[in-house]
Amino acid sequence: MTVKEVKDFLSNIQPFQELDDATLGNIAGGVIVEFYPKDTLILQQDGPPSDFLRIIKKGGVKVFIRPDVNEEVVIDYRSEGDTFGLLSLIRGDRSRANVKAVEDTICYLVTKETIQGLLDGNAAFSEYFLKSFLNKYIDKTFSEMHSKSLLYGGGDKLLFTTPVGELASRTAVTAPNEISIKDAAEVMSKRKISSLVLVDQDNLPAGIVTDRDLRDKVVSKGLNVAEPISSIMSVPLMTTEARDYCFEALLKMIRYNIHHLLVIDDGKLRGILTNHDLMMLQGTSPISVVRDIETRQNIEDLVPVSKKINRIVNLLLKEGAKAGNITRIISEINDRLVRKILEIAERKFGKPPVDYCFIVFGSEGRKEQTFKTDQDNAIIYEDPKSPGDGKKAEEYFKGFSDFVKEALVACGFPNCPAGYMASNPKWRQPLKIWKDYFSKWINTPTPDSLLFSLIFFDFRPVHGDIKLADKLRAYLNKTLKNQNVFFARMAGTIMNNRPPLGFFKSFIVEKGGVHKDEFNLKFRGIGPIVDIARLFALERGLSETSTLERLRSLKDKHPIVMELGEEIEQAFEFISLLRIHHQIALMGKSLEPDNFINPNNLSGLEKKSLKESFQLILNIQEAITELYRPGMVNQ
Amino acid sequence: MLAGFFSRKDDTAPLAIGEAEYTVIDTELTGLDLKKDSIVSIGAVRMKGARIDIGASFYQLIHPSSGMDHKNILIHGITPSEVEQKPAIDAVLDELSAFCGDSVIVGHFVSLDINFINKELKRTGRKNMKNAAVDTCKIYEWIKSNEGPFSRHYTARRDELDLFSIAREYSISFNEGHNALSDAFITAQLFQRFLSSLPGSGVKSIRDLLKIGKA
């Protein structure tokens, strides 16, 4: 590992390969080598800023943040040739994320001075870093983005394609630089602007004053407002060319910790760009879709809004959201869409004769939807007081649920081929019939009743009288108590679906057909974990329906989850994210999203993680066999 | 037999191993006979704690004071004609000691290198190296004897203790070149691994390190 070897290594990785030989030699000569054993925490969120750019020579790291103590959001896995620590290096304030070695890792460290020099002096070099890093840390402050959940964000691509001039419609308001602080503040408040450009006698910009200056330099210091504005204005002025792309402007703001830039066009002051403008550019965020949904009043207007939902997944992925958060957000948006449709239906058909609750189940019930999936829904309504009332309710919900079904189809949720929809009379029933269904499924061991249990027991209320769903859940938990035979049968289905990992730790793939050399990640990877979490949750009488919530709740209740909960959660997250990435890639090529993965297309780290996840599932399945064996023998 | 070199060891004793300065050193020789043979090249690299400073390296080919035999030319790949124009060791010694400064000397079987350097220091009327020195091979043997339930029974064969075998065991990648500088870098990486695991085994200060690995 001599200077030459370091140089050779750097010359093969982005963006160092853009640099000339002499520059590379200089960088290589200043490199420091560090070794981190597996699990070393290299950088700590909110800890001291990184003092080096670290380039991974060998090994791999996980970049993640903790929005709060119990939550970990994995932003990225990085491996050989990748770098980390740039943003805190540039800003020099604090580390924005945790970086942990996931295997024994060797890093080359390049000093801050060197990187600063390269960013300033080499356009190709800085552009690369801007793109790769700002994609992940796009928001103006990191903590803000994550504390307000991932509903914000997205649209970052625009940052790289929109010139500043297009955005900076705001013309800069100017004033002579000899006026007083008070006069300047008056102009700002009268014109409702947050910044004022001060010009000299020749009408050339001399400085800028912002709201923040008035706050920090005048009010908090008790400065006399009769003082000239020039005493507090910020000089030099930070400018950006109108033809520059927005990400360059954003980088300047981040680097100099400012919120305003003067936009210069052809040597003249054209306008002002604020960080608010950049935030607005990122526009198509989940929150804006939600707002959009709320304002629509009929189905025709909802259809175009619903089309945006798939795009959000893409944006969230770019934001570095983990699978659990993506599906949570998508479920939240879908719920709002469904609620809106139901509200429209209620207006159309009038007040329902009895209270009802609209429930969803399957992946929708577990809040694990990504791209639009088949409808899985039903209606529970209050037990009618008389046969006449019952008749009225049947009539009402018939038309009502047909309308809802068609509206959902129009908004991109296809009919359920098996007919698990409220439009099917079997699945819109009073509470007491639902209770009968549930006890029958639990007590009569037919394949059908087991299948219904797996699907319907993941139900959750979306709209209407939530109490009806709560009552049904309470009834279910009561009825399931000590139903060891039932649970053994449920455990039996889990044994029948093992992850595709062979004895010698190689992936088992389809030997032929359309999906030759692939396997179904949903059925064979995600499915088993969902089934395991459902089994344990129902057995312990939990009300949660989402797999991650079930696992978290089981942590202090079930010995297996107590021991392996963290790992199961991570495996579930990892496989789910892999699936979403796969589907996004297919949709990018205008193909239908499917669940078939060819393991040969995975990176080394992905393969390793997937094998570990599969192995974990196999181990838990073994443990379940031990637990339920007596009941399973009679299958 | 080397105890006399280390008069400074008590000064450096309280220093943590992650804080100390090290010079990792390797020499190529015309042969192993201290009386007849001499140094053909010296490579060294500085470490601050566990950080290897790639730029702070030292490499010098030397016109040996003794003849070079064919067998060793094959090992280190340095031919007589290559070193003919190179300085004699006298001219290199001061530069080397300036490079080492007060740091702790680290090397694989480093007492051999130190013996040869001291021989030249003495011959040219200079004083012996006073730096504390540790041998990565000894540290390796200590770690082996200290880990695992069978460690008491661990005895390595001599041929498994060479730098490359141990480096391979730690998955350190290298080109098997026998160049003094690249060998010093391999040794430095090995030492880097040791530094990351030793505190967990109770070896925390330079004093502890010398206890287990003094050359």
What's the pLDDT tens digit per position in A409-443? 998 888 988 899 999 999 999 999 999 999 999 99
Residue A67 to chain B, least CA–CA distance (Å): 30
Q: What separation, in Å, do the N-terminal and C-terminal C-alpha atoms of chain B show?
A: 10
Nearest CA in chain B to A59: B171
Q: Which residue of A has its CA nearest to B192?
A: A35
Coil/strand/helix, residue B176: coil
Min Cα–Cα distance to chain B from A4, Å:
10
Name the superfamily (CATH) of residues B3-213: Ribonuclease H-like superfamily/Ribonuclease H (3.30.420.10)
**What is the rounded CA–CA span in Å between residue A234 and residue A236?**
6
Out of A50-64, A83-97, A537-551, A557-571, least confident range: A83-97
**Which is higher by pLDDT, B67 or B198?**
B198
Q: Which residues of A touch B51 (CB under 8 A)?
A: 32-34, 109
Q: What is the pTM of this model?
A: 0.48
Q: How far is CA A188 from CA A196, A210, A226, A227, A232, in A?
A: 7, 9, 16, 17, 15
Best of A7, A9, A33, A55 to disrupt the B interface by mutation (most B CBs within 10 Å)? Answer: A33
Better-predicted residue by pLDDT, A372 or A367: A367
From chain B, the residues in CB contact with A2 under 8 A are 54, 57, 181-182, 185
Chain A residues with beta carbon closer than 8 angstroms to that of B190: none
Higher pLDDT, A135 or B118: B118
Q: Side-chain half-sphere of B141: how many Cα atoms within 13 Å? A: 18
**Cross-chain residue pair A33–B189, CB shorter than 8 Å:** yes
pLDDT-based confidence at residue B176 (cuts at 50, 70, 90): low
Q: Which of B53, B173, B192 is the closest to A35 by Cβ?
A: B192
Average pLDDT over residues A166-177: 78
Chain A nearest-CA distance from B84, in A, is: 24
Angstroms from B20 CA to nearest CA on chain A: 15
Distances (CA, A) of A132 to A57, A286, A595, B54, B158: 18, 23, 28, 27, 50
d(CA B161, CA B138): 9
**Which pLDDT value is given to residue A161?**
59
**Cα-trace Rg, chain B:** 17
Span B101-147, pLDDT tens digits: 999 999 999 999 999 999 999 988 999 999 999 999 999 989 988 77
Using a CB-CB distance cutoff of 8 angstroms, which residues of chain B are in contact with residue A29? 54-55
Nearest CA in chain B to A25: B55
Residue A155 has pLDDT above 80, yes or no: no
Three-state secondary-structure class, residue A119: helix
Distance of residue A104 Cα from the nearest chain B Cα, in angstroms = 10
CATH code of the region A160-281: 3.10.580.10
Q: How is chain A split among helix, strand and coil, in percent rounded to 5? A: 50, 15, 30
Partner residue opposite B196 with nearest CB, options A30, A37, A58: A37
> What DSSP designation does A162 have?
S
User: Quick one: pLDDT at residue A146?
Assistant: 33
pLDDT given for residue A66 in this prediction:
74
Kindly indicate whether the ipTM for this predicted assembly is greater than 0.95, answering yes or no: no
Q: Name the interface residues of B facing A (CB cutoff 8 Å).
A: 50-55, 57, 171, 173-174, 181-182, 185-186, 188-189, 192-193, 196-197
Give the residue, B187 or A233, on which the prediction is more confident. B187
Q: Give the model's confidence band at A273: pLDDT under 50 very low, under 70 low, under 90 confident, else very high.
A: confident
Q: Cβ B50–A29 below 8 Å, yes or no?
A: no
Mean pLDDT within A159-186: 80
Q: What is the pLDDT of residue B150?
A: 53
Higher-confidence position of A163 and A99: A99
Distance CA B61, CA B38 (A): 12
Helix (H, G, I), strand (E, B) or coil at A460: strand
A286-481 belongs to CATH 3.10.20.30: no
Q: How far apart are CA A326 and CA A336, in angstroms?
A: 16
CB-CB neighbors (< 8 A) of A108 in chain B: 54
A31: nearest CB among B55, B186, B193: B55
- In a mutational test of the A interface, the residue from B48, B52, B169, B193 whose CB has the highest number of chain A CBs within 10 Å is B52
Does A1 sit within 8 Å of B185, measured CB to CB? Answer: yes
Task: Evaluate whether B131 touches B100 at the Cβ level (below 8 Å).
Answer: yes
Nearest CA-CA distance, residue A32 and chain B, Å:
4
Of A1, A34, A108, the CB nearest to B50: A34
Query: Residue A321: pLDDT band by 50, 70, 90 thresholds?
Result: low
Confidence of residue A635 (pLDDT cuts 50, 70, 90): very low
Residue of A nearest to B18 (CA): A34
Question: What is the residue extent of each domain of chain A?
Answer: 3-145, 160-281, 286-481, 487-632
Question: Is a pLDDT exceeding 80 seen at residue A94?
Answer: no
Q: Which of A224-228, A405-409, A492-496 has the highest mean pLDDT?
A: A405-409
Nearest CA-CA partner of A96 in A37, A17, A43: A43
What is the pLDDT confidence band of residue A36, given thresholds at 50, 70 and 90? very high
Q: Which of A606-610, B6-10, B175-179 has the highest mean pLDDT?
A: A606-610
> Looking at beta carbons, which residues of chain A come within 8 Å of B192?
33-35
Residue ranges per structural domain of chain B: 3-213
Please check the confidence at residue A602 and state whether its pLDDT lies above 90.
no
As a whole number, mean pLDDT of residues A299-321 equals 72
Instruction: Judge: A29–B54 Cβ closer than 8 Å, yes or no.
Output: yes
- Name the band, by pLDDT with cuts 50, 70 and 90, for residue A281: low
Q: Which of A33, A36, A40 sits opposite B54 (nearest CB)?
A: A33
At A260, list the tokens: 């305003």
Residue A21 has which token pair? 């030989």
Nearest CA in chain A to B48: A32
Helix, strand and coil in chain B, % to nearest 5: 45, 20, 35
Query: Which range is most confident: A136-145, A329-338, A375-384?
Result: A375-384
By Cβ distance, the residue of A3, A36, A37 closest to B54 is A3
Confidence of residue A384 (pLDDT cuts 50, 70, 90): very high
From A2, A31, A35, residue closest to B196, measured CB to CB: A35
Under 8 Å between Cβ of A398 and A422:
no
Q: Which residue has the higher pLDDT, A427 or A271?
A: A427
Check CB contact under 8 Å for A32 and B51.
yes
Architecture of the CATH domain A3-145: Sandwich (2.60)
Which residues of chain A make contact with B54, given a CB cutoff of 8 A? 1-3, 6, 28-33, 108
Considering only alpha carbons, which residue of chain B is nearest residue A33?
A: B52
CB pairs under 8 A between A and B: 53
Residues of A near B (Cβ–Cβ under 8 Å) read 1-3, 5-6, 28-37, 40, 58, 104, 106, 108-109
Mean of the per-residue pLDDT values of chain B: 84
**Confidence (pLDDT) at A276:** 66
Q: How far apart are CA A284 and CA A305, in angstroms?
A: 11
pLDDT, averaged across chain A: 82
Say whether the peptide bond before residue A236 is cis (omega within 30 degrees of 0).
yes
A35 vs B55, B57, B193: nearest CB: B193
| Confidence class for position A70, pLDDT limits 50, 70, 90 | low
Instruction: Mean pLDDT check: name the lowest of A84-98, A415-429, B66-80.
Output: B66-80
Phi/psi-derived region of residue B39, left when phi > 0, alpha when psi is between -120 and 50, beta in every other case: beta
The verdict on a CB contact (< 8 Å) between A32 and B53 is: yes
Q: Which of B52, B55, B196 sits opposite A30 (nearest CB)?
A: B55
Higher pLDDT, A295 or B193: B193
pLDDT over 90, % of chain B: 48
Tell me the C-alpha distance between A213 and A230, whole Å.
12
- Give the pLDDT confidence score for residue A395 in this predicted structure: 94
Check B50 against A104: CB less than 8 A apart. no
Is residue B13's pLDDT more than 60? no
Q: Shortest CB distance from B52 goes to which of A5, A29, A33?
A: A33
Residue range B154-163: average pLDDT?
66
Q: State yes or no: pLDDT of A402 exceeds 80.
A: yes
Query: For position B2, what pLDDT does the model report?
Result: 40
Partner residue facing B55 (CB), from A3, A35, A37:
A3
Question: What tens digit of pLDDT does each residue of A509-540 get?
Answer: 888 888 888 999 988 999 999 999 999 999 99
Nearest residue in A to B53, CA atom: A32
Taking alpha carbons only, the member of A323, A341, A319 closest to residue A331 is A323
Q: Quick check: A104 and B171 CB within 8 A?
A: yes
More confident residue, A467 or B91: A467
